[in-house]
């Protein structure tokens, strides 16, 4: 069981102000790791940090407010981390733009109207940002002959969004096409990275979770349970054990894999 320990491991978490990041941060703090949180949104990240400082008052949390699409910013951040913490052991590429869905019409997301500015922004954060962080932090791990990269994909990296979930009959509100492309692309980045640095002790896997219960409407939950064999979304915290396995030495022979945890949705 010692292989599940993250004791004194330095863990970089991008998109650290988001909902999914709460599970990553909890895993690191609960298992002895040192979280380094990165996000561009100062207000949301501050709230996240304050929450965890109350939950884990004796734990040290490092953080940086920066845009991961700017390579020079990420490089400068890596230098500061190395000066302070001496190393990087784990990278969790979690940053992505996920627009909240509602019953309101949003014509700019419809494929026939899709705003390519949204495409540019989404791919820049979700793919370019992940590439930059992989390049910079992965290189540090490769020099040290050991490290783990976990890329956060989605069940929608394996299947298409079912846009009927957000509409009644005629489609008027959809999950943007850019989200699917980003999450499918993350799997490609994972497989490339897994083979690239394997001989230098750096493993890379992807985690493809389903949705999390988060104040969705009863109507939406009733619709989606028909698409999931377990008939529900994940509970808050239900992904933590899988995340721990994937970033710890417990998964030491796993490399280039895509682990889906989605209640069975993608097997249908």
**Which pLDDT does position 191 carry in this prediction?**
98
**Which pLDDT does position 102 carry in this prediction?**
60
How many other C-beta atoms are found inside a 10 Å radius of the C-beta of residue 84?
Answer: 11
Percent of the chain surpassing pLDDT 90: 88
Percent of the chain surpassing pLDDT 70: 96
| Distance (Å, whole) CA 10 – CA 140 | 12
Q: Which residues contact 99 (CB under 8 A, 6 or more apart)?
A: 109, 175, 176, 179
**Which pLDDT does position 105 carry in this prediction?**
57
Instruction: Quickly state the pLDDT bin for 268 (edges 50, 70, 90).
Output: confident
**Which pLDDT does position 104 carry in this prediction?**
59
User: Is residue 7's pLDDT more than 90?
Assistant: yes
User: Is residue 103's pLDDT more than 90?
Assistant: no
Q: For residue 111, which of 68, 161, 73, 146 has the smallest C-alpha distance?
A: 161
| Distance (Å, whole) CA 143 – CA 200 | 8
Rg (Cα) of the chain, in Å, rounded? Answer: 18
**Which pLDDT does position 50 carry in this prediction?**
97
| Distance (Å, whole) CA 109 – CA 14 | 25
165 versus 62: the higher-pLDDT residue is: 62
User: Is residue 100's pLDDT more than 80?
Assistant: no
Query: In which residue are the tokens 């100062």 written?
Result: 42
- Counts for the chain of helices (H) and strands (E), in that order: 8, 7
| Distance (Å, whole) CA 149 – CA 138 | 7
Q: For residue 204, which of 218, 215, 189 has the smallest C-alpha distance?
A: 189
Q: What tens digit of pLDDT does each residue of 250-261 get?
A: 999 999 999 999
Instruction: Quickly state the pLDDT bin for 166 (edges 50, 70, 90).
Output: confident
pTM: 0.96
**Which pLDDT does position 167 carry in this prediction?**
81
Is the separation of the CB atoms in 42 and 65 below 8 Å? yes
């Amino acid at each position: 069981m010692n292989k599940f320990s993250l004791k004194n491991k330095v863990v970089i978490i991008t998109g650290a102000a988001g909902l999914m990041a709460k599970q990553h941060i909890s895993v690191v703090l609960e298992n002895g790791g040192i979280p380094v949180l990165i996000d561009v949104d100062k207000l949301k990240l501050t709230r996240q940090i304050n929450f965890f400082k109350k939950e884990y008052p004796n734990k040290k949390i490092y953080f940086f407010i920066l845009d991961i699409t700017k390579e020079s910013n990420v490089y400068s951040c890596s230098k500061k981390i190395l000066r302070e913490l001496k190393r990087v052991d784990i990278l969790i590429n979690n940053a992505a733009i996920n627009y909240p869905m509602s019953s309101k019409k949003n014509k700019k997301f419809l494929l026939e109207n899709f705003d390519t500015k949204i495409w540019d922004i989404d791919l820049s954060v979700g793919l370019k940002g992940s590439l930059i962080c992989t390049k910079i932090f992965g290189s540090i791990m490769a020099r040290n002959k050991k490290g783990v990269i976990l890329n956060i994909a989605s069940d929608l990296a394996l299947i298409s969004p079912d846009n009927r979930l957000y509409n009644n009959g005629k489609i008027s509100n959809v999950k943007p096409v850019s989200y699917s492309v980003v999450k499918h692309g993350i799997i490609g980045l994972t497989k490339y990275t897994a083979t690239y640095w394997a001989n230098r002790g750096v493993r890379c896997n992807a985690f493809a979770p389903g949705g999390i219960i988060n104040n969705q409407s009863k109507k939406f939950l009733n619709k989606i349970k028909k698409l999931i064999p377990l008939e529900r979304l994940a509970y808050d915290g239900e992904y933590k054990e899988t995340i721990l396995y994937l970033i710890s030495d417990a998964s030491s022979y796993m490399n280039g894999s895509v682990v889906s945890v989605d209640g069975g949705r993608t097997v249908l």
